[in-house]
Structure 1
Amino acid sequence: MDTRADEILTRNQWDEELSRDEIFDLISNSRRRYTIQYCKEAGGTVSLSELAEHVAALEHDKGISEITSGERKAVYTSLQQTHLPRLDRAGVVEFEDGSVELTERIERLDIYLDIVPEGSIPWGVYYLGLSVLSTVILAALWLDFIPAGLAPELLYPTIIVAIFLFSSIYHTYLNQRYRIDEFDRSL
Structure 2
Amino acid sequence: MLGIVFSHHAFAYDDDWGERGHAPHWKQRDYAIVRSVTPQYETVSQPRQECRSEWVTENIPRYDGNGTVGTIVGGVAGGVLGHQIGKGRGKEVATVAGTLIGAMVGNQLGERNSLGPVYDTSQREVQRCRQVNDYSQRVRDYRVEYEYRSQVYSANMNRYPGNPGARIPVKLLVELDEDWK
Q: Shorter-chain TM-score category?
A: under 0.3
Length-normalised TM-score, structure 2: 0.16
Q: Which has the higher helix share?
A: 1
Please identify the structure whose Cα radius of gyration is greater.
Answer: 2
Q: Which has the higher strand share?
A: 2
Structure with more relative contact order (C-alpha pairs < 8 Å, separation 6 or more): 2
